[in-house]
């Protein structure tokens, strides 16, 4: 066996030193040192040796293994160095060129616009609040003056959970939560995801984003509401915007309005974005209904307030002229990458 091992060492060392490339070197490693390799094959005969012979042969086998490993490592390093040298000698290879830069992520446009709106409102003294996406009937409907048999429930098709909870269909449940949480007067916004059981098309998505805002104080009037909305929209669009109010029905506000802004694309002339009308419907709002104030624990004789619910998804679509809402949550990185800063 000693002869066999010596012969293996001589043969293997010669083969390794002559290995022309990494692939051949790997093959040799397997051939000599692998589980089914030559060394293992010889060692299988160890059992037949006498107790005196065994330690000598074992020690030699280890030496051979170490020698082979060392030779393979050495040859591998030489081959690598040679490969780099060859690359550098290639006149087409320029080692001073910068490598490909890793691709950077970016903020989603809805995030960017939400953060902008948060900044605007924080500067005006609003709290920034976060409320649950899983709600109960009381906060999403009942407390907002939408009882079980009210037709307004049909305006917002709902994802119901098996335990009777639901995915909030709007950010308005936060109105009641905020009233219960803070002593008036106060003002707050709460942006977030909302969910509706919709048939999906270019302007309907099951998940979209709103930001709700409320102001609670004594003697809040429609004039306060209009002033606040104009300030808000001016800050969002970074210019003065022309608005108009139309009556709008929402059970939790009275009076309720649909606020339109003059189309930012055509300045009211009429274009495809505003479908020729010169106006774009943007933000439902109104004075908080006395029943809602009462449900939030406030006395409507003493306190009053306004509320608005701004569709962030729609705002993003208008700002970037995105024609299909499904792009927003579609997760296609080619879409997202268009909003990469810089």
Residues at the site binding ligand PHE, with contacts judged by CB under 6 A: 170, 172, 250, 253, 256, 284-286, 307-309
> SS3 for 341?
coil
Minimum CB distance to ligand PHE smaller for 109 or for 192: 192
Kindly give, in sequence order, each residue whose CB lies less than 8 Å from that of residue 178, ignoring residues fewer than 6 positions away: 127, 129, 186, 188, 190, 214, 296
Which of 106, 158, 118, 2 minimizes the C-alpha distance to 341?
Answer: 106
Minimum CB distance to ligand PHE smaller for 181 or for 258: 258
Minimum CB distance to ligand PHE smaller for 32 or for 257: 257
DSSP 99: P
Residue with tokens 């591998």: 76
Minimum CB distance to ligand PHE smaller for 189 or for 318: 189
The distance of Cα 258 from the centroid of its chain, to the nearest Å, equals 31
Minimum CB distance to ligand PHE smaller for 9 or for 209: 209
CA atoms within 13 A on the CB side of 122: 9
Q: Least separation, in Å, of the C-beta of 212 and ligand PHE?
A: 6
The residue with its CB nearest to ligand PHE is 309
Minimum CB distance to ligand PHE smaller for 39 or for 169: 169
Output b/e per residue, 42-66; b: 16+ Cβ within 10 A: bbeeeeeeeeeeeeebeeebeebbe
Cβ neighbours of 23 (radius 10 Å): 10
Q: Least separation, in Å, of the C-beta of 312 and ligand PHE?
A: 11
Residue with tokens 């002869």: 3
Kindly give, in sequence order, each residue whose CB lies less than 8 Å from that of residue 198, ignoring residues fewer than 6 positions away: 157, 204, 205, 206
């Amino acid at each position: 066996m000693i002869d066999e091992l010596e012969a293996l060492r001589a043969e293997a060392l010669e083969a390794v030193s002559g290995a022309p490339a990494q692939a051949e070197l790997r093959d040799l490693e397997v051939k000599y040192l692998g589980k089914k390799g030559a060394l293992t094959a010889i060692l299988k005969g160890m059992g037949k040796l006498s107790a005196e012979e065994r330690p000598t042969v074992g020690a030699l086998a280890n030496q051979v293994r170490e020698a082979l490993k060392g030779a393979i490592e050495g040859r591998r390093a030489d081959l690598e160095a040679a490969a780099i040298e060859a690359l550098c000698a290639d006149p087409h290879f320029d080692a001073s060129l910068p490598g490909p830069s890793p691709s950077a992520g970016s903020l989603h446009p809805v995030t960017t616009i939400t953060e902008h709106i948060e900044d605007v409102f924080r500067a005006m003294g609003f709290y920034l609040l976060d409320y649950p996406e899983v709600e109960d009937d009381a906060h999403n409907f009942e407390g907002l003056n939408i009882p079980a048999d009210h037709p307004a429930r049909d305006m917002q098709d709902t994802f119901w959970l098996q335990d009777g909870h639901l995915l909030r269909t709007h950010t308005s449940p936060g109105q009641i939560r905020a009233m219960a949480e803070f002593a008036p007067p106060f003002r707050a916004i709460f942006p977030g995801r909302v969910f509706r059981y919709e048939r999906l098309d270019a302007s309907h998505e099951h998940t979209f984003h709103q930001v709700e805002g409320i102001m609670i104080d004594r003697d809040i009037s429609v004039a306060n509401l209009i002033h606040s909305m104009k300030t808000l929209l001016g800050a969002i669009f970074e210019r003065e915007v022309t608005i108009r109010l139309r009556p709008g029905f929402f059970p939790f506000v009275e009076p309720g309005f649909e606020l339109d802004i003059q189309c930012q694309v055509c300045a009211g002339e009429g274009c495809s974005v505003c479908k020729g009308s010169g106006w774009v419907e943007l933000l439902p709002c109104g004075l908080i209904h006395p029943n809602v104030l009462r449900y939030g624990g406030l006395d409507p004789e003493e306190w009053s307030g306004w509320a608005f619910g701004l569709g962030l998804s729609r705002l993003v679509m208008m700002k970037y002229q995105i024609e299909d809402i499904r792009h927003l949550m579609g997760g296609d990185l080619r879409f997202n990458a268009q909003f990469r800063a810089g």
